[in-house]
């Protein structure tokens, strides 16, 4: 008993106290980094699209009211001159237009006047992966969303829940921006973060308002200048898989590992390809980054970029997760910080 008491005397008490402090500090750092959620910005759904200036809206309203009045008078004059037949023809034309907008949906496809999605399941070389070919009439149909509509750290939600809350048609997991404090983050035309990562992991993907995918080096161009040049989205993960239709990988050590993967690519104007590969299971080994890049190039991608993978890899379509997400230990969706989705 005396020996035990002596341990707590003299210099030993300070050593023990220091060890306790260091252990507590390390534990808090880990919890703060990986567990504690922090909300930085809560997104108003109305802010997902550009908002016009109030004065401009008022002027536009006055002009519209004037135009509506003139249109009404012109219509009355036309009806007086030609009778009601033109009105019936106009109604018939409108009915025809409405019928054209009715979407055509199957288990693996969707088509309306603005969006075309075709999904293919491929099983080859010990891997199962899903390819979504997406064509749009305008880039506004390619959108992003944060978990719980909140930009923050460790704020996460399953892909399916984020997709459903945003009335998505199709969705994949994004870059899991909330797992890090660095990276270029622009979403739906808003700049949320502009902290450059260290090389060689500092290549970000951007999508401009014409819908074109381009890669930039974080730190070499500011987020504000990208916003000024009408960048619509940016993603901070990587690496770049393809550029100008050719293989762009340089880190062979990382690319040689088989894992679940998620990637986005562009084939042509407003024509995109999304690939999600299953892995870490008896049914599917996963893909190396080289295999993922080659799959993109083989299907015509000019630019392609790797997004968050592993247990995060998920593809959602028309109300269902269609791949088999797993981290190798647990099956099912992992909660993530963001998604890329297609929606009206």
pLDDT tens column, 217-235: 999 999 999 999 999 999 9
Which DSSP string corresponds to 13-64? HHHHHHHHHHHHHHHHHHHHHHTS-EEEEEPPGGGGS----HHHHHHHHHHH
Low-confidence ranges of the chain (pLDDT < 50): 24-34, 49-72, 74-90, 92-98
pLDDT of residue 262: 98
* DSSP SS3 for 330: coil
pLDDT of residue 44: 73
The pair of three-digit structure tokens given for residue 135, joined into one six-digit string: 């064509």
Distance CA 322, CA 335 (A): 16
The pair of three-digit structure tokens given for residue 198, joined into one six-digit string: 């260290």
Distance CA 177, CA 184 (A): 9
pLDDT of residue 159: 98
pLDDT of residue 81: 43
Domain ranges for the chain: 2-34, 54-100, 106-342
pLDDT of residue 20: 55
pLDDT of residue 332: 95
The pair of three-digit structure tokens given for residue 295, joined into one six-digit string: 């799959």
**Could you give the angle at which helices 54-82 and 85-100 cross, rounded to 10 degrees?**
130
C-alpha dist (Å) from residue 106 to 102, 161, 169: 13, 21, 12
Beta pairing partners, 213: 207
**Residue written as token pair 């970000």:** 204
pLDDT of residue 343: 97
pLDDT of residue 305: 98
The pair of three-digit structure tokens given for residue 294, joined into one six-digit string: 């080659």
Cα–Cα–Cα angle for 20, 26, 27, rounded to 5 degrees: 90
Q: Check: pTM over 0.95? Answer yes or no.
A: no
The candidate with the shortest Cα–Cα distance to 258, out of 281, 302, 283, 289, is 289
pLDDT of residue 6: 59
């Amino acid at each position: 008993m005396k020996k035990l008491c002596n341990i707590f005397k003299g210099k030993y008490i300070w050593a023990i106290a220091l060890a306790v402090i260091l252990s507590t500090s390390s534990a808090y750092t880990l919890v703060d980094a990986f567990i504690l959620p922090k909300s930085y910005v809560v997104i108003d759904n109305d802010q997902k699209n550009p908002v016009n200036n109030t004065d401009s809206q008022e002027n536009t309203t006055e002009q519209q009211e004037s135009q509506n009045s003139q249109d009404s008078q012109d219509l009355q004059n036309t009806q007086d001159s030609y009778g009601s037949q033109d009105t019936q023809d106009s109604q018939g034309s409108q009915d025809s237009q409405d019928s054209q907008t009715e979407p055509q949906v199957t288990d693996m496809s969707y088509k309306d006047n603005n969006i075309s999605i075709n999904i293919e399941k491929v099983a080859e070389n010990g891997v199962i992966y899903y390819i979504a070919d997406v064509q749009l009439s305008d880039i506004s149909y390619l959108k992003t969303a944060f978990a719980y509509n909140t930009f923050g750290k460790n704020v996460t939600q399953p892909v399916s829940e984020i997709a459903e809350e945003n009335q998505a048609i199709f969705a994949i997991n994004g870059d899991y921006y909330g797992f890090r404090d660095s990276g270029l983050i622009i979403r739906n035309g808003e700049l949320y973060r502009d902290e450059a990562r260290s090389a060689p992991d500092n290549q970000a993907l951007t999508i401009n308002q014409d819908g074109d995918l381009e890669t930039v080096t974080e730190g070499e161009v500011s987020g504000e200048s990208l916003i000024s040049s009408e960048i619509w989205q940016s993603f901070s993960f990587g690496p770049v898989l393809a550029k100008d239709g050719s293989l762009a990988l340089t880190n062979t050590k990382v690319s040689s590992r088989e894992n679940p993967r998620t990637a986005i690519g562009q084939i042509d104007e407003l024509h995109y390809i999304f690939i999600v590969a299953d892995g870490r299971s008896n049914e599917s080994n996963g893909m190396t980054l080289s295999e993922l890049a080659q799959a993109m190039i083989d299907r015509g991608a000019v630019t392609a970029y790797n997004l968050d993978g592993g247990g995060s890899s998920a593809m959602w379509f028309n109300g269902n997760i269609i791949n088999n997400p797993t981290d190798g230990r647990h099956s099912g969706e992992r909660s993530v910080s963001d998604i890329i989705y297609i929606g009206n």
